[in-house]
Amino acid sequence: MKKKFIEIIAIIGLLVTMIPFGNVHAAGANTSSNDQSLAKIQKKGVLVMGTSPDYAPYEFQTTKNGKSVDVGMDISIAKQIAKDLGVKLEIKNMDFDSLLVALQTGKVDMVMAGMNPTPARRKSVTFSNIYYQGGQDIVINKKDNKIYKNKDSFVNKTVGAQTGTMQYNMAKKQIPNVKVKGFDKGADLILALQTNKIDGIVMEKPSAEAYVKNNSQLSLINGNFNLSKDESSSAIAFQKGSNTLAAAVNKSLAKIKKKDLINKEYLKDAGSHMKTNTVDTSMWHYWKYFAKGIGYTLLISAFSVFFGFILGTILAFMRLSRNKLFKAVSTAYIEFIRGTPLMVQIMFVYFGIGLVVNIPALTSGIIAVSLNSGAYVAEVIRGGINSIDKGQTEAARSLGLSKNYTMRYVVLPQAIKNIWPALGNEFISLIKESSIVSIIGVTDLIYQLKIVQSDTYRGVAPIVVAMLLYFVVTFSLSKVLSYFEGRMKHAN
């Protein structure tokens, strides 16, 4: 009873220590009277732009000399802004629905992603002036041309939209009885449409046009949505109250508008890249993407296995120890980690802890996966040690062996045979589960898979390649592990 009580207190303690993280932003927010936002950027010498490059012609990726580069009209505008501010531009890519969180937690200085300055968003961020007006359309399969005319044809049907976007909310509000499915990436939406998971996609007009131009099986209809000016335009988002920065950016935007650079240069440039995307869409052509992805996946896995193993061993011995405090801390940790999803833990490390110390995405990923794995490894080791009959320890101790000696030479050598296979399982799932780090923009295999999808406008082939690569890696590891398992049996 008392033990349980200590455990519960420890878990509550753990939670309470995390609460302050939630408030840091409010304290650090700019107040308009002493707004340092512009001065800060100029002092740093870099302007960090957050975007989600799956939205041609606004922002998308293309291959240049085997490397992926971000292009599109938003990127061109941002380059001009950085030039006018006299700073360097740095681009951080992530899923669209993470962008405003990244802005509020200071991971990026501005968000530029074809974003509509909706009233709801205006409440939490400051927007620049409008720089482009697009409008909203619906993409459908060409074969359905006769069935769908505008938004009202989708009553009782299913449409798709990117998660966290204005289109998602608009479809829900303006089409009676419609089912709206959210997807993270533009390429996933197209794939869902082509495999008839959804009947149409609500998309910004220029982006819809880009997809339709690149895929002869798709076509486009006018949405006929009721739109305010804000809902059909794009603006740049800054942290709330960053008025000096917004004013400086507005100056650049005015200059761009005056010269009509968006229509005369930026959109044309974007168009030229869209064509190069369709030159060679074979998977071989993209081997470098997959190679880079698998490299990161292996890197994260290797580090996390290493740190997870060390942490797990420490936790296991803490939990097995007679010291009540050690035991309670370790139990609370293990229960807490096992009771929360890895995805949430990753976001917590990157965005939450990131409020206090700025940890890069890759490091955050490694930390989160290691912390997570530690809890599971601890249980595997504890289980293995507990599986050794008490009689063994008693016998060894009565022969006069010390406690440590007994653990090292009697219990552990036997326990390791029980631990090994379970540990192997843990490492194999770690390789697969590490794929979630792509949500914070780590360029692992899953991340690359999505890039290849949107670059080639092909849905299934990249998935198959990624699947095979994961299998090759986990299968080889499992072979290596069972080789050692076999050797351990002989050693007996």
Q: Using CB under 6 A as the criterion, which residues of the chain lie in contact with ligand ARG when the complex forms?
A: 52, 54-55, 58-59, 96, 113-116, 162, 165-167, 204
Supply the minimum distance, in Å, between the C-beta of residue 74 and ligand ARG: 8
| CB nearer to ligand ARG: pick between 49 and 294 | 49
Supply the minimum distance, in Å, between the C-beta of residue 75 and ligand ARG: 11
Supply the minimum distance, in Å, between the C-beta of residue 247 and ligand ARG: 22
Residue 161 backbone zone (phi > 0: left; psi -120 to 50: alpha; other: beta): beta
Supply the minimum distance, in Å, between the C-beta of residue 206 and ligand ARG: 10
| CB nearer to ligand ARG: pick between 191 and 431 | 191
Supply the minimum distance, in Å, between the C-beta of residue 59 and ligand ARG: 6
| CB nearer to ligand ARG: pick between 114 and 374 | 114
With 0-12 CB in 10 A as exposed, 13-18 as middle and 19+ as buried, what is 394? exposed
| CB nearer to ligand ARG: pick between 196 and 226 | 226
| CB nearer to ligand ARG: pick between 166 and 305 | 166
| Calpha distance 443→289 (Å, rounded) | 9
Please report, as a single letter, which amino acid is at residue 394. E
| CB nearer to ligand ARG: pick between 184 and 426 | 184
The crossing angle, in degrees rounded to 10, of helices 460-490 and 412-433 is: 170
Report the candidate in 314, 472, 288 with the shortest Cα–Cα distance to residue 378: 314
Please report, as a single letter, which amino acid is at residue 302. A
Report the candidate in 179, 448, 175 with the shortest Cα–Cα distance to residue 293: 448
| CB nearer to ligand ARG: pick between 58 and 238 | 58
Contact assessment for residue 204 and residue 136, using Cβ atoms and an 8 Å cutoff: yes
Supply the minimum distance, in Å, between the C-beta of residue 274 and ligand ARG: 15
Contact assessment for residue 47 and residue 41, using Cβ atoms and an 8 Å cutoff: yes
List of residues 6+ apart from 53 with CB closer than 8 A = 59, 60, 61, 70, 72, 93, 454
Sign of CA dihedral 267, 273, 279, 284: negative
| Calpha distance 378→251 (Å, rounded) | 57
Supply the minimum distance, in Å, between the C-beta of residue 113 and ligand ARG: 4
- Three-class secondary structure of residue 484 per DSSP: helix
Give, for 203, the enclosing helix (H) or strand (E). strand 200-204
Tokens of 239: 């942290």
| CB nearer to ligand ARG: pick between 110 and 113 | 113
Supply the minimum distance, in Å, between the C-beta of residue 243 and ligand ARG: 22
